[in-house]
Structure 1
Amino acid sequence: MLLLILGLLLWVAAHFFKRVAPEQRAAMGNAGKGLVAVGVLAGLVLMILGYRAAPFINVWTPPSFMVHINNLMMLGAVFLYGMSATKGRLRGKLRHPQLTAVKVWAIAHLLVNGDLASIILFGGLLAWAVAEVILINKSTTWDRPEPGPAKKDVVLLIITIVMFVLITGIHAWLGVWPFPA
């Protein structure tokens, strides 16, 4: 669990650095970007290694129907994440589509994973995403972008479905079948 917690802390610290110490981050220039990228990547690797090595300590047993809710929420999370790059009509409907996607992803995974390592990982990333939105909203203003053509939203929907299938395939390859039998 120690690697998991250290990874989570490193991930949070690297992401918060720009928000809690903007002068120090700005003074570092491009080297600061590299340092943050290394911190984020190292945090991610530690979280993955720590999660995979963590003992299974059951805290609660999710009901089986939660898998369906999880899968629907995951489809929504992939769509939300893609909204950050869209140039369609949905552009500007949401200020923080990527962080909102992380929140939906984390909640979806908490619904189907009742072990302690999952609660630490997904709960920690949920708390980070909520705190990150609060920090960003306090530190910057937002100019809502103008909506683009609706056909770009159709492209986003197609990409969402392809990415969802790809993510499902990766889960299956890793030995986690995301659909109930």
Structure 2
Amino acid sequence: MTVLIAGLLLFLGVHSVRIVADGWRGAQLARLGEKKWKGVYSVAALAGLILVIWGYGLARQQPVALWSPPTALRHLSGLLMLFSLVLLAAANVPRNSIKARLHHPMLLGTQLWAVAHLLSNGTLADLLLFGSFLLWSSADLVSAIGRDRRAVTHYPAGTLRGTLIAIVAGVALWVLLAFWLHGVLFGVRPFG
């Protein structure tokens, strides 16, 4: 569990700088320049992600069961993941109505991803991993909304084309993950 916790602290800590120390972040950006800042940030985030993956894998070898989720929650989890992946796609597709309306679809998608996995998994490692991401994404969403209000941020209107691309990409990613890739990467097949 120690490796998982260390990874979560590093990965989510790096991603929390803007939440807790936005002024310091701005000063470092100015001092280092955007490329150097992004390089340091990326190396730290990647190291944290590697520790999270390794630590979660280690924790799964000796699971500490907290609850046993009913099978029905797997289906609800699958539905939530569909919406989560559409939101993830919307965060990366320019000029779509989802991003225009929700403003921060990646954070909302992360929240749904975390809730979906908390519903269908019941070990201590799951609670630490997905619970941490749920708490972080909720705090980051509140912070991002506050920054938008202070900066009077306006999001460009979405187009039908951008919206359809986001939806199709999210659904395609969901099908790929749900019926093949999740099993290959994580050894768990959500639907069989």
2:144 & 2:96 partners in 1: Cα distance? Answer: 24
**Corresponding residue of 1:56:** 63
2:86 & 2:44 partners in 1: Cα distance? Answer: 27
TM-score, L = length of structure 2: 0.86
Deviation, structure 1 residue 31 = 1.6
Identity %: 32
Give the secondary structure class of the aligned counterpart of 1:146: coil
1:166 & 1:112 partners in 2: Cα distance? Answer: 19
Q: Indicate yes or no: 2:93 matched with 1:93.
A: no
2:99 & 2:15 partners in 1: Cα distance? Answer: 24
| Residues 149 and 139 (structure 1), Cα distance of their counterparts in 2 relative to 1, 3 Å cut | closer
Residue segments in structure 1 that go unaligned for 5+ positions in a row: none
Q: Indicate yes or no: 2:74 matched with 1:67.
A: yes
Write out per-residue CA displacement over residues 46-65 of structure 1, whole angstroms, 9 at most, x where no aligned residue. 00000010120000110110
Q: How many residues align?
A: 180
Residue segments in structure 2 that go unaligned for 5+ positions in a row: none
Runs of 4 or more consecutive aligned structure 1 residues displaced over 6 Å after TM superposition: none
| 1:145 equivalent among 128, 148, 155 | 155
1:111 & 1:163 partners in 2: Cα distance? Answer: 21
Deviation, structure 1 residue 142 = 4.7
1:102 & 1:172 partners in 2: Cα distance? Answer: 20
Write out per-residue CA displacement over residues 97-148 of structure 1, whole angstroms, 9 at most, x where no aligned residue. 1011000000000000100000000000111111112233334435232323
TM-score, L = length of structure 1: 0.91
**Corresponding residue of 2:32:** 28
Aligned letter for 2:15? H
